[in-house]
């Protein structure tokens, strides 16, 4: 474990907590893409299948359990409890356009052609693009609530910090996973446009409005 990865995990945790707080306090899922949350749930389910078979550390297990349960809870809140506030008309990104390419790529490009390894690879590829429905929805509505933009900033920062973690592990632990690194770079690059808007607008106290 290194500081980059620890802070990255805490950013990821903060993002998920921020999202749950937004939903619970505003009693609304307005502006949230249920599709992205479904994809994140799928990412955790396919990545943490080794939750009970491969013990790494108490920290690792606790975080996996929290990420799994919170992502499933978020999907539940969006599609059942606060369904009335779900803006389905703007959450129209076709998930199959992400699921099928990621599945095919995971079958072709992986470290080992075994079910667990292919599912892990699928989860890595899917995580890289899982935010697209959410970013697409914001581009359609033209704006995002401030707390939603904090959520996105924390979520985008987490994988950016993981890139630093991979650099660190490459130089100091001679540990390198090209699949995770390439997907992590793609994932972080997808947030760049949002990062620019967040820093130039939200941090100036303005609401996140996309140029019409």
Partner 1 sequence: KENTARKDEL
For partner 1, the binding residues (CB under 8 A) are: 5, 9, 12, 50, 54, 56-57, 60, 63-64, 67, 111-112, 114, 117, 120, 162, 165, 175, 177, 179-180
Q: State which residue, 63 or 210, has the beta carbon closest to partner 1.
A: 63
Shortest Å distance, C-beta 129 to partner 1: 18
Shortest Å distance, C-beta 26 to partner 1: 28
Q: State which residue, 97 or 171, has the beta carbon closest to partner 1.
A: 171
CA atoms within 13 A on the CB side of 120: 15
**Residue 12, exposed/middle/buried by CB under 10 A (0-12, 13-18, 19+)?**
buried
Shortest Å distance, C-beta 10 to partner 1: 11
Shortest Å distance, C-beta 63 to partner 1: 5
Q: State which residue, 31 or 160, has the beta carbon closest to partner 1.
A: 160
Shortest Å distance, C-beta 154 to partner 1: 15
Q: State which residue, 54 or 69, has the beta carbon closest to partner 1.
A: 54
Q: State which residue, 111 or 207, has the beta carbon closest to partner 1.
A: 111
Indicate the angle between helix axes 146-172 and 192-200, nearest 10 degrees.
120
């Amino acid at each position: 474990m290194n500081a980059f990865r620890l802070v990255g995990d805490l950013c990821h945790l903060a993002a998920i907590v921020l999202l749950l707080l937004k939903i619970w306090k505003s009693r609304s899922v307005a502006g949230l893409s249920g599709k992205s949350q479904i994809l994140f749930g799928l990412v955790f389910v396919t990545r943490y299948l080794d939750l009970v078979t491969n013990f790494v550390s108490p920290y690792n297990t606790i975080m996996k359990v929290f990420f799994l349960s919170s992502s499933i809870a978020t999907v539940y809140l969006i599609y059942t409890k606060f369904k009335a506030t779900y803006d389905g008309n703007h959450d129209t990104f076709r998930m199959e356009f992400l699921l099928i390419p990621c599945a095919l790529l995971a079958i072709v490009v992986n470290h080992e052609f075994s079910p667990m390894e292919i599912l892990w690879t699928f989860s890595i590829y899917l995580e890289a693009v899982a935010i697209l429905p959410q970013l697409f929805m914001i581009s359609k509505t033209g704006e995002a609530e401030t707390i939603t933009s904090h959520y996105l900033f924390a979520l985008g920062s987490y994988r950016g910090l993981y890139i630093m973690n991979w650099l660190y592990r490459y130089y100091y632990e001679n540990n390198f996973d090209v699949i995770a690194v390439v997907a992590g770079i793609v994932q972080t690059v997808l947030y760049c446009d949002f990062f620019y808007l967040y820093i130039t607008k939200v941090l100036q106290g303005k609401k996140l409005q996309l140029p019409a």
